[in-house]
Structure 1
């Protein structure tokens, strides 16, 4: 994700949380003018501490991943567990039954 995509996700989350830029500024400690510049993509860079504070104010979190990492089922389970605050689910590995012809050819 680049800075423009992060700022768009932040703006959507702020609006979904029914918060004004001023409310976010007050709860995050970041000036309202910088919140506005961040949302509109006019802020060339923003420090990690400020970005984390802004994201926290609207209920988002940043997750560090290796380049090229694709979202996995484990990621989805972890996210849903965090949202539900339910105890972690026990994972069960499911296997398809072997095809009879495949089992005979290995013999």
Structure 2
């Protein structure tokens, strides 16, 4: 497994951006002895954009998350369903008081 992680914060703006790239190699689908969940080699990118408000609305925080996962070998739908080759978008609102 190879992972690259980067994070950037704009000073004074409340904006934070982070990116994680991950490559899972060496696993083989069908070999459940050492591969419990039967996952094939994949590439995954996680992106997170966070904005924290200031002033009257301090404590209100918005997160936008994007996850992209791609299978590197198998493309048969019944073997990769809900495991890879997908985009997932999430928008989360938190209020800390």
When the two structures are superposed, what TM-score results if normalisation uses the length of structure 2?
Answer: 0.18
Select the structure that is richer in helix: 1
TM-score (normalised: structure 1): 0.17
